[in-house]
């Protein structure tokens, strides 16, 4: 399982391994890995999802070596999320944030707007922990509405639309409850 300290170690080792092979990369990460990198969540994740670029052979080989050295499963670094890039709101590349610039590896995260969108999208399709991750970003009502507006352009399913609406209502309800408790 990957937590903050291991995340840093993996990125450092990946940078070093890429240097040995003579390759350099700029990668953009999303999902729990990005939230861990940004100190938004403290939970662990099993993988780090690249949204850009697709993993090619040199990056794959370097990731395999680093993974084996750290007893991580195959796919600890993966590009499964690259297919999701087309669903992000336009201009997401300009909203990425620099995270780590090594000698051979530059790691970026999706920007806040796109992380909110991606976590709302994931929560509507998958598991509760994505909703918890969304809440950890502390989105405003306006940010949730912007994410919803784009998200609802992607799918025609009424069940999906209802799920998105319910998630936003619940996020806003929990936010009000949290604010009330903090006073």
Measured N-to-C along each axis, helices 112-125 and 128-136 cross at an angle, to the nearest 10 degrees, of 160
Domain boundary among 71, 91, 110: 110
Flag residues of the chain having pLDDT under 50. Answer: 183
Same domain, 56 and 91: yes
User: How many domains does the structure of the chain reveal?
Assistant: 2
Domain boundary among 88, 110, 132: 110
Phi, psi of 23 (to 5 degrees): -115, 155
For residue 176, what pLDDT is reported?
Answer: 77
Domain of 64, in residue numbers: 4-110
Handedness of CA 2, 79, 8, 41 (dihedral sign): negative
For residue 183, what pLDDT is reported?
Answer: 46
Distance of alpha carbon 145 from alpha carbon 70, whole angstroms:
41
Same domain, 101 and 135: no
The structure's pTM equals 0.91
3-state secondary structure of 155: coil
Instruction: Please report, to the nearest 10 degrees, the dihedral formed by the alpha carbons of residues 131, 137, 140, 145 taken in order.
Output: -50
Same domain, 125 and 97: no
Residues making up the chain, counted from first to last: 183
Same domain, 106 and 141: no
Domain boundary among 60, 94, 110: 110
Contact 58, 21 (CB under 8 A): yes
Q: Which token pair is 134?
A: 């969304």
Same domain, 132 and 47: no
Same domain, 11 and 93: yes
């Amino acid at each position: 399982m990957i937590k903050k300290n291991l995340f840093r170690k993996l990125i450092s080792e990946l940078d070093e391994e890429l240097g040995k092979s003579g390759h350099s990369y700029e990668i953009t990460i999303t999902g729990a890995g990005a939230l861990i990198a940004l100190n938004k969540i403290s939970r662990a994740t099993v993988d780090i999802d690249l949204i850009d670029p697709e993993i090619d052979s040199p990056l794959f080989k370097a990731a395999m070596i680093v993974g084996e050295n750290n007893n991580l499963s195959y796919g600890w670094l993966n590009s499964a999320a690259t297919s999701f890039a087309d669903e992000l709101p336009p201009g997401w590349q300009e909203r990425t944030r620099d995270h780590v610039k090594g000698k051979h590896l530059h790691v970026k995260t999706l920007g806040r707007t796109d992380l909110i969108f991606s976590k709302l999208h994931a929560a509507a399709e998958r598991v509760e922990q994505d909703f918890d991750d969304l809440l950890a970003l502390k989105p405003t009502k306006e940010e949730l509405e912007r994410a919803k507006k784009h998200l609802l352009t992607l799918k025609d399913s009424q069940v999906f639309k209802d799920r998105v609406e319910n998630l936003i209502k619940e996020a806003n309800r929990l936010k009000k409850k949290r604010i009330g408790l903090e006073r």
